[in-house]
Structure 1
Amino acid sequence: MAVICKAMANGLLFTLSLALLGWGVEGQGNGRNKKEVSGQATVYLGQNRDIWRPLMHTTVNLSEIRSIKSSFQVRTFDPEGTIFYGDTKNGEDWFVLSLKNGICMMQIKKEDLLVSVAGGPKLNDGKWHTLEVSNQGKFVILTVDGSSGLEVGMQSNQPEQVLSGELRLALGGILINKEKLIVQFGPQMDGCVQEGNWLNISLPWEAEVEELWPCYQNIKPGSYFPGTGLAIFNTSVFPIEADGEVRIELWGDFHQMDGTILSINSSGQQPMLILVTNNITKEVTLTFGEEKMSMKDTFRRLVITFLTDSLQVLQDKDDPKTTTFPISPVSHPEYLTTWKEGRLAIGGLLGEVDENVGSQYLTGCLEKIQVQGRDLDLDLAVKHTSVSSHSCPA
């Protein structure tokens, strides 16, 4: 347990100040092609990389640890993802703190024991919450905003070992095989960490990315597209209703966005449907086969519904307006087949030949996305590049 405690206390000392997008994080090289980052850097956990790979990490000798308590603040709208990780014995004993369903989850491996516990208040409300992890005897204790959150007691039949060697710490990822986790979860988190006090260790951290993305000063729920990436889904994961209906709903200020909002196609074909917005002309254009529809009225919700014989487009405004296009071999043949075997891109135009390549990327915030009546989690995309999946700058 002392090992875990030290892994936590020795954790991560960040005093993270909020910054607007565009403010860089200072760092310098260390001769190993790794950028060294101060433990006090602002850290955005959702930066694009391999989803299990830590954003940054450090190693410290156990003999240097003087504190058994770590505290930091976290802010997110994301219900699931990795916050931080610590281990000893090169990963034989380890600790992971994450969110799942919006609440904290601790997973601990020590000697012959494996423990997982989850509980406490939901933290994915977009507000800053202070978390403190400490080791008290045989217990690891997590407090949230000064109140009791989680408490884990562990006692092994193995003789107590004298701690020695190194402690590895990682932020936003883990250093063990994910199959070793007791409870599997989605690791990528659209969230920020700040004001950390990690065991009073001031060693620099090594970043696994060239530049750390900063955090927005204020955020609101939604998915933010910075104009450099998109999210791609296999349409086969969205079942067609018994009556053949396919329904896509989008919420947001469409006249504040710019670029391709969504596109649908199947391999090697021209896009079946493209939805584009122009921030200069304040025009939203939907192209479906040979048909084209221009929308200049102000609206904050758009519903696109494929029926067996028609495509319906609803602009939800003070005076709702529905436009209907007949579906025929002229407009687009076998659209149901395209939906069953195609790709749906949110935030860009899929390539005609290579459907994993996007262009005409969207800049702006989609406040909510639903497909077949269910909220779309961009963390589940086949390809997800430079998109903040659960938050937008406010």
Structure 2
Amino acid sequence: MSVLCKVMASVLVLTLSLAALGWGDGDQGNGRSEKEVSGQSTVYLGQDRDTWRPLMHTTVKLSDIKGIKSSFQMRTFDPEGVIFYGDTKSGEDWFVLSLKGGAPLMQIRKLNVVVSAAGGPKLNDGKWHTLEVSNQGKFVILEVDGSDGLVVGMHSDVTEDDLSGDLRLALGGILISKEKLLVPLGPQMDACVRKGNWLNLSIPWKSEVPDLWPCYQNIQPGSYFPGNGFAIYNTSVFHVEEGHSVKIELWGDFDQMDGTILSIKAPGQKPALVLVANNKTQELTVTDNEKLVVMKDSLKRLEIMLKADSPQDEDKEKESAFVMSGGTLSVQLGHSSAWKDGRLAIGGLLGENTGESKGNAGSQFLTGCLEKIQVQGRDLDLDLAVKHKSVSPHSCPA
């Protein structure tokens, strides 16, 4: 598999006609209302929906296809996700274009054989790139900004039936089982697509999403919280060794934020730590169970240290320290018990039982951009959160 994933401009034996690319079983009988969208529209692929379900799709008869080339522009900071999918024969033959590690990845199933190829330039630099997928004889070619980015060659001695029936295309998801993919990947992608020309088709696409989210004119790296959603993690996923402290770091312009930045809570206990920004007063409130500290200094970085408990601390009063230095606020908690079997929320206030925010959501959720989030020195991937809604995990409006 590792060799196939690194194939670039090489021949893999079997044939493929790009005209046979389409999409799976669609929306028959699901009861969802659909709206028509132009294939040339600017759309945000990371919109909240079922994880693997495409954002929009279209269906056409194979006999109506006028070309075997599709092109579009894409912009993202996200290193992984599904861009473009298609199949025929109700998902028997299929094609998936995605990013993996920031680079293009094509996966193709044809005549009971699945191949994959990855390589070319990394595209998660936040710039608009033009991608073109075409079929040239026995080769499927992905061009990036006018240059060959990835080539897959296929040939077979098996006689293929004449193609007939429907061709279906999709953006931002797949309609086959994810287990059929040769290379596993996370599907949702914080990306924008525009100026699509899909097999020279002019028919409209369909979307089950009532209102398509806009794409910001300019973006910067970071995680954007629009004020109505947050990300929750079970703290057990971070695998902190017994006796070790926990370090959480946040970067951003905290003067521009409003709402709950972070909260830590164990079941049945009060929140061990809550950080709240107030954009009107330019204050940052830090609450450690019972202690409340209000900071008015401009901050660019927050450092939170949960100290590991030790047997010597059992009978001692546990204290917390709040230290401000050079635009960095260091919060040191005198215990880490709340971290065990607890939850960490980025962008919201944890409630009881459900783990969701309580009270007025508008005053509890964060509005603003966190440029970088780290736990134990490693970047935090919001795509792996237990729950997040309406959050752009890899980009902020600039």
Q: TM-score normalised to the size of structure 1?
A: 0.88
Share of identical aligned residues, percent? 66
Count the aligned residue pairs: 365
Within 5 Å, give how 1:95-114 maps onto structure 2. 95-114=95-114
Post-superposition CA distance 1:288-328 (Å, at most 9, x none): 1111121110120110111136545454525x565656x2x
Of stretches 268-277 and 218-227 in structure 1, the one that deviates more from structure 2 is 268-277
Deviation per CA, 1:30-73, whole angstroms, max 9, x where unpaired? x9721111222211000001110100111110000010111111
CA contact (8 A) 2:349 2:356 kept: no
What SS does structure 2 have at the residue aligned with 1:275?
strand
User: Do residues 339 (structure 1) and 339 (structure 2) align?
Assistant: yes
Question: For residues 11-50 of structure 1, what are the structure 2 equivalents within 5 Å?
Answer: 33-50=33-50
SS of aligned partner of 2:90: helix
Q: 1:389 to 1:4 in 2, by over 3 A?
A: farther
Shift of 1:161: 2.1
Q: Helix, strand or coil for the counterpart of 1:384?
A: coil
Report if the CA contact (8 A) 1:7-1:95 is conserved.
no
Structure 2 equivalent of residue 267 of structure 1: 267
Distance across 2 between alignment mates of 1:341 and 1:323: 21
Structure 1: any 5+ residue segments left out of the alignment? 12-30, 328-334
Would the aligned equivalents of 1:233 and 1:344 in 2 still touch at CA under 8 Å?
yes
1:299/1:315 contact within 8 Å kept: no
Map 1:254-293 → 2, pairs under 5 A:
254-293=254-293
Change (3 A) 1:311 1:167: farther
Q: Is the 8 A contact 1:300 1:316 kept in 2?
A: no
In the other structure, the counterpart of 2:391 is 387
The within-5 A match list for 1:341-380 is 341-357=341-357, 359=361, 360-380=364-384
Give 1:1-394 correspondences, 5 Å limit: 4-7=17-20, 33-241=33-241, 243-308=243-308, 311-315=320-324, 317=326, 322=330, 327=334, 335-357=335-357, 359=361, 360-394=364-398
Unaligned runs of 5+ in 2: 1-13, 24-30, 309-317
SS at match of 2:49: coil
Aligned-residue Cα RMSD (Å) equals 1.9
Deviations 1:333-357 (A, max 9, x none): xx53421201111001011232145
User: What's 2:7 paired with?
Assistant: none
Cα separation, partners in 2 of 1:3 and 1:61, compared to 1, 3 Å: farther
Deviation of the 1:244 alpha carbon: 2.3
Quick one: which amino acid aligns to residue 183 of structure 1? V
> Aligned with 1:285: secondary structure?
strand
Q: Distance in 2 between matches of 1:178 and 1:324?
A: 43
SS in 2 for 1:341: coil
**Per-residue deviation at 1:112?**
2.1
CA deviations 1:204-263 (Å, max 9, x no partner) are 111021111110000000000000100011111112255421101000000100000011
Q: List, as ranges, runs of 4+ consecutive aligned residues in structure 1 with deviation greater than 6 Å.
A: none
Q: Contact (CA 8 Å) 1:269, 1:353: kept in 2 or not?
A: no
